[in-house]
Structure 1
Amino acid sequence: MASKKIDAPPSGTLASSANGADSDSLLLQQLEDELKKATFDDDRLEDRSISSSSSASSASATGNVIKMQANLLSAAEQESAACMTFNESDIQEAIRILHHAETLCNAQIHAAPKKSVPLMTSVSKMVSSGWSYFGYKDASKSKPNSPAGTPPPPLPKYMTNGEIRARVVRAESQLLTSLILLLQESMMSYLKAGLNIRKGYKSYENVWAELQSMGDEVNTLVDNNTRGGIQFGLGTINIVLASLPTKILRIISSFGYIGDKALGFDLVSKCIAGKGIRSPLGSLMFLSYYTILAGFAPSVLGETNIPVADKILKDALQDYKESAFFLYFKGRNCRLKSMIKESTAAFELASSKATVEWGSELQRLCDYELGLNCAILLQWSESIKYFDRLAQENYWSKAFFLYFKAAALEECGQKQEALSTYQLIPGLVNRKFGGRTILVEQYVSRKVRLFEQNGFENTNLPALEILLIWNAYSSMTQESLRTCLAQVDNQISKNRGVTGLDSLAVLKTIKGAILHQLHQHKEGAECLTWVQDLPAGKIAEEKWVVPFACWEAGVGSWMEDHALAGDQRWARAKAFWDKAMGYSGYEFEFRLSIRIHAAMTRIQDLAEQMKLKAFH
């Protein structure tokens, strides 16, 4: 299968901050060493798959001492035989279980009878016939209850169905581990995700090549669920890699490949059509792509992604009416359409359906979405209940949920209660991944420290700031947007001559984003231009605000230029987004990078469509 390479990262691009450069470089070296070892182990495993060495010696070669019988079920026999969480302990447990699954699969692979190779088979026959000619018998190949010299059963022409199945499950374990790690938004997690993607991709490629070699026999030699597993896994890896921005791809560049989105969509579509056990996972993969990615850039991707997500949801909910997962994505998709009432109903129904073992985790996730919906509706007192509950249950980041609660309390005019809540946060910033505080907790701890410096007198609408960073204004009604705009204008007037440029830049960026959603593009552009034109170094604390202002300026230009012909439609937007990509070392950098990559991919798709039209 054709694959593409990406350039190695330029010197210094991997450092998340100046004082972390040395540790990041050391970490990168460690991960690259591990990657080389994993590549060597993979190659040895492939060598063993065409050898006739015993399963015991194969297992000891990699340190696996699990004894396991080979899975010799045929494809037909195999056919008949055949969650979401952000809590650190659950994440680590999931990764542990997936690693154990890898170990079990390796043992199954080692136990499988190895397929014949034409050249080796010919040599074996020649040697054995030569020994027979001289009257020798190979006693080691005789069965205990068989006459001496009885030849062993012939080696299979292809990998057995059991071995292919084990390889697919192993690759799937590596894929799921990488997806978990990518969600952590840290340097180490991205590097480790790259390592697992590399290993999983190689496993999928090997079994994919094996299936291709079977030709028309594949449907009888390999069971439907295993074929669906290959289609789902290889397709998902290609889609995920195609969706990652350059900044993240450079970090995992030791993996070496970028995704083929067209191939990925084709394979996952075949997985869904196959109606196997991974068919609903394929539908969820597409929904994740169309809804979550659109959520990063709703004003840019909404018109194309939302209708597709609607169709997938309609088909999926016909087959899985009680699925809490599909109902959850229905809530996300409704929010993209600014149908917050319908979105809330879908999240509430999803929560009520989540009653099995993992149900509590999905219920908490729905609580978070419901709290965000309340904030979008400016129903702050209702949002407080959800964020307080999430904090009390110690879900994901207690510090972040208390920060959101305190910000909502301020919106309700309960300043003293908000102050008391803010003061709890520094002692709760303890959620780490790879020894580092997670990004959102770095953000809230820095904000509380700034508030403390002025005695919590001037916090500058932190709730509206969260809605900006979370890209929520595109889901608001015009009335709610005007309410927020009045708040921002009032705060800017209060701050005049009192606060520094950091606070004013944040408020101007919020105002610019709101004005664009109100289609007041000229006024919105003026606010965002003011932020972008600030002299370098003038922003002391809010390093994220200038690149976010560039992003919002691009969104406004995209909306304003939507009716223009040709590349004029996106020329201004692209210039702003290119400018945003020039910044680094700020909070939520990778989150913004994903937004920009999604938008740039949309531009590429439109450019390709223009070329096709011109050609025809």
Structure 2
Amino acid sequence: MFRDNIIAIQSVDAKNIPANDLGPREQEEADEPVREGMQYLFDNKFMKAKATFQVKASIDPLYALGLGAMAFIKDVEMAMAALATAYTVAKSQIDNSGFKKPLKESLSQYFTSFLSSNSTGLPASPPPTNVASQRASTQREETPHFIPNGVLRAHVVKAECCLLMSVLQLAQESVVGYLKCGLNLRQAYNSYSIVWQEYKRMGQTYTQYMDRDTVSAIQFGIGTVHLILSSMPAKILKIFSTLGWKSDKQLGFALLKVCMEGQGIRAPLASLTLLAYYSILTSFTPQLYAKEMMGPAIECLLDAQKHHPNSCFFLFFAARIARVARNMPLSTQSFTFAAESSRGEWAEVAMKQMSDYEIGFNYALQLDWERAASYFEQLSREKYWSPAFSKYFVGACYEMLGRRTEGILAFAEVPQLAKDQQGRKTYIDAYVQKKVEFFQRSGYQDMDFSLPGLELLLVMNAFEQMDKESLEKSLALVQRTLELIYDREKMEYNIRLRELVPATTPPDYYDQRAILLLIKSSVLNALKRHKECIAHLNWILDHKHCLKVESWVVPFAYWESGVTSWGLGNIRKSRKLWQLALACTKYDFEYRMAVRLSLAINKCDEAGINFIEQKPSKGLTTNGRKRMPIVHASSC
């Protein structure tokens, strides 16, 4: 099994890892098998790729990184172990090289980096050398001293291991995950800085001293770090504040595109990174980025598929792009092809589960709850990602179908499944567990007032991907459910008109009504009927103090209010509302929503709006209150 091979690699003897003294051209020739291994990997020939990488994985860091990249696809724990092993091999090769930079040069570089004000978004460059001193240096010593190519190559592999581990930790969407991500990004930064300094010192002659795949590795690594940092909200960026980089999204795009065009070992990884970034933008904030990013995403995909037309990875992203374009049949077909293309190979199970999850979600977007339930039932049995979430999704589908008994039986399994996650419990596990507990308080008697299937689409910000007919059906269903709440409230208030001190408590359906109004507003926003949202969102925010259970509703209401304002052309108001959402804390979707809000606020800032309001010339109005600036819609 692949896992056994990873464990075997971890037992390597660091002292016996040979130093790498190959020159750039010799290295490029020696790395040809790795290049072939990457071709196998992206042509769905996983067993051949694994066999190729395993040949020297215990002594060569780039081969070990290849195995780490493969494990990245299949299993988080396996990937972390494989990447840690590759890191050890790279570090050992550096330590065993015997190369030490001159002390004077190291100190000079350190103080230059420390004292410089770095706003370029890249590791600091060495100070310029004047012509006279350069000539004198040339006369003293004709051959410049650079770190050997083998050591530079090991440094970028070490950095890339940290970078890939940080991505895995970032995907956990937890405080601990972000902290670990920050530490790994800092380690990656340190190694990339060493190579970048040498690359800049080499100037136009860098090809004489560095192999082309090490150069492309710098482009890939620094470009990826910039895209990661540019999408992070301020509260998370504080964790990364010691990095010394100022994120630059455009520079990140440029470096990754240069890496792709070079067609080196990391070119397909650069394509995947860009596609993943486009996917995040268009799925987290489709209201703002879907139209803008659709063109670049398709261009990137077509370019990648020229070189790997049947790659299951690129087919998977083709399906994600088709979903954003609201072409569900094409999306489902592409997910199916992605799974089938890896059949009989090492990644078969992983790709099938990923595709099944997305196909099940596609059916939910089409309100085909029967088929969606069958997919998530299978995923729950296979314990994919979050079994508790999958089982809750099954219960939600049955409830949407009117099969309440089956839905309740599915919900009843959720708490134990969430408990079984233990240390791996995610934000979504916490959410579904609380939802079931909420249903259980009334003995499932108030299920008529909830639409759990549509609520899941709401929290995933998925209504933008539904077609108009499905949106209209959802809107009608929400309206009928709101009327049921009104009828129940009317009945219970009538009892209080007839009986003195009745045994029943006053009606309290604020949480249910708030969620339904939030769903309704989100659907209306997706239909571009923005003005109709205003009254519903105002009701939620006016009654936020009445919400006892669903703490996530308030920041989501601010989010939808911002979307409404954006649709009405009031971008300044959108930004203020999203800032209010960002101030909300301690709810299940906090960090996922924080990323969404950060991307939205960045979009506002890109619009070139000056949000610094001018202070009034007089501090007080005639009634003694502080004067507030007047903002007109036309000023936006």
The TM-score, its normalising length taken from structure 2, stands at: 0.76
Q: Deviations over 1:223-257 (max 9, x none)?
A: 11111111101110111011111122124445454
Which of 531, 540, 551 aligns to 1:531? It is 540
Following superposition of structure 1 onto structure 2, how do residues 368-387 of structure 1 map, counting pairs within 5 Å? 368-387=357-376
Q: 2:227: which partner in 1?
A: 239
Q: Does 1:420 align with 2:392?
A: no
Q: Assess if the C-alpha contact under 8 Å between 1:116 and 1:155 holds in 2.
A: no
Q: 1:463: which partner in 2?
A: 453
Which of 57, 60, 79 aligns to 2:28? It is 79
Give the distance between the partners of 2:456 and 2:101, measured in 1 at CA. Answer: 60
Q: Assess if the C-alpha contact under 8 Å between 2:21 and 2:149 holds in 1.
A: yes
- Give the CA deviation at 1:519: 2.2
Q: Assess if the C-alpha contact under 8 Å between 1:114 and 1:156 holds in 2.
A: no
Q: 2:511: which partner in 1?
A: 502
Q: Secondary structure at the match of 1:576?
A: helix
Following superposition of structure 1 onto structure 2, how do residues 202-213 of structure 1 map, counting pairs within 5 Å? 202-213=190-201
Q: 1:515: which partner in 2?
A: 524
Q: Which runs of 5+ in 2 are unaligned?
A: 1-12, 32-68, 107-141, 490-506, 612-636
Which of 79, 99, 104 aligns to 1:94? It is 79
Give the distance between the partners of 1:547 and 1:287, measured in 2 at CA. Answer: 28
Q: 2:353: which partner in 1?
A: 364
Q: Assess if the C-alpha contact under 8 Å between 1:397 and 1:431 holds in 2.
A: no
Q: 1:341: which partner in 2?
A: 329
Q: Please, which moves more after superposition, 539-548 or 108-117? A: 108-117
Q: Deviations over 1:454-509 (max 9, x none)?
A: 11122301110000001110011111111111111111111222552111111110
Q: Assess if the C-alpha contact under 8 Å between 2:281 and 2:290 holds in 1.
A: no
Q: Secondary structure at the match of 1:429?
A: helix
- Give the CA deviation at 1:350: 0.9
- The number of aligned residues is 505
Q: 1:178: which partner in 2?
A: 166
Q: 2:562: which partner in 1?
A: 554
Which of 470, 474, 477 aligns to 1:480? It is 470
Q: Secondary structure at the match of 1:314?
A: helix
Q: Secondary structure at the match of 1:289?
A: helix
Following superposition of structure 1 onto structure 2, how do residues 397-436 of structure 1 map, counting pairs within 5 Å? 397-430=386-419, 432=421, 435=423
- Give the CA deviation at 1:324: 0.8
Q: Deviations over 1:52-97 (max 9, x none)?
A: xxxxxxxxxxxx953322111221121122179999x931221122
Does the C-alpha gap of structure 1 residues 476 and 584 become closer, same or farther in structure 2, counting only changes over 3 Å? same
Following superposition of structure 1 onto structure 2, how do residues 179-328 of structure 1 map, counting pairs within 5 Å? 179-255=167-243, 257-328=245-316
Give the distance between the partners of 2:590 and 2:460, measured in 1 at CA. Answer: 13
Give the distance between the partners of 1:609 and 1:352, measured in 2 at CA. Answer: 51
Does the C-alpha gap of structure 1 residues 517 and 397 become closer, same or farther in structure 2, counting only changes over 3 Å? same
Q: 1:67: which partner in 2?
A: 16
Q: Assess if the C-alpha contact under 8 Å between 1:351 and 1:362 holds in 2.
A: yes
Q: Secondary structure at the match of 1:71?
A: coil
Percent identical: 36
Does the C-alpha gap of structure 1 residues 503 and 609 become closer, same or farther in structure 2, counting only changes over 3 Å? closer
- Give the CA deviation at 1:163: 0.7
- Give the CA deviation at 1:354: 2.2
Q: 1:596: which partner in 2?
A: 597
User: 1 or 2 for the larger relative contact order (CA 8 Å, sep ≥6)?
Assistant: 1
- Give the CA deviation at 1:535: 4.7
Q: RMSD across aligned C-alpha pairs, in angstroms? A: 2.4
Give the distance between the partners of 1:84 and 1:100, measured in 2 at CA. Answer: 13
Q: Which runs of 5+ in 1 are unaligned?
A: 1-63, 122-153, 562-568, 611-616
Give the distance between the partners of 1:120 and 1:79, measured in 2 at CA. Answer: 29
- Give the CA deviation at 1:262: 2.6
Following superposition of structure 1 onto structure 2, how do residues 99-114 of structure 1 map, counting pairs within 5 Å? 99-114=84-99
Does the C-alpha gap of structure 1 residues 346 and 120 become closer, same or farther in structure 2, counting only changes over 3 Å? closer
Q: Deviations over 1:14-59 (max 9, x none)?
A: xxxxxxxxxxxxxxxxxxxxxxxxxxxxxxxxxxxxxxxxxxxxxx
Give the distance between the partners of 1:275 and 1:357, measured in 2 at CA. Answer: 25
Give the distance between the partners of 1:163 and 1:275, measured in 2 at CA. Answer: 23
Q: 1:491: which partner in 2?
A: 481
Q: Secondary structure at the match of 1:207?
A: helix
Q: 1:144: which partner in 2?
A: none
Q: Secondary structure at the match of 2:550?
A: coil
Give the distance between the partners of 2:148 and 2:572, measured in 1 at CA. Answer: 54
Does the C-alpha gap of structure 1 residues 201 and 457 become closer, same or farther in structure 2, counting only changes over 3 Å? same
Q: Assess if the C-alpha contact under 8 Å between 2:365 and 2:466 holds in 1.
A: yes
Q: Assess if the C-alpha contact under 8 Å between 2:87 and 2:161 holds in 1.
A: yes
User: Structure 2 counterpart of 1:417, which letter?
Assistant: E
Give the distance between the partners of 1:560 and 1:268, measured in 2 at CA. Answer: 35
- Give the CA deviation at 1:402: 0.4
Q: Assess if the C-alpha contact under 8 Å between 2:192 and 2:221 holds in 1.
A: yes
Q: Secondary structure at the match of 1:525?
A: helix
Give the distance between the partners of 2:287 and 2:301, measured in 1 at CA. Answer: 21
Q: 2:622: which partner in 1?
A: none
- Give the CA deviation at 1:120: 8.4
Q: Secondary structure at the match of 2:146?
A: coil
Q: Assess if the C-alpha contact under 8 Å between 1:115 and 1:156 holds in 2.
A: no
Q: Assess if the C-alpha contact under 8 Å between 1:514 and 1:524 holds in 2.
A: no
The TM-score, its normalising length taken from structure 1, stands at: 0.78
User: Structure 2 counterpart of 1:558, which letter?
Assistant: W
User: Structure 2 counterpart of 1:578, which letter?
Assistant: Q
- Give the CA deviation at 1:437: 2.7
User: Structure 1 counterpart of 2:480, which letter?
Assistant: N
Does the C-alpha gap of structure 1 residues 187 and 116 become closer, same or farther in structure 2, counting only changes over 3 Å? closer
Following superposition of structure 1 onto structure 2, how do residues 433-444 of structure 1 map, counting pairs within 5 Å? 435=423, 437-444=425-432
Q: Deviations over 1:421-471 (max 9, x none)?
A: 1111111113657x3632111111111111111111223011100000011
Q: Assess if the C-alpha contact under 8 Å between 2:17 and 2:93 holds in 1.
A: yes
- Give the CA deviation at 1:118: 9.2
Does the C-alpha gap of structure 1 residues 91 and 119 become closer, same or farther in structure 2, counting only changes over 3 Å? closer
Q: Deviations over 1:327-356 (max 9, x none)?
A: 111111111111111111111111111233
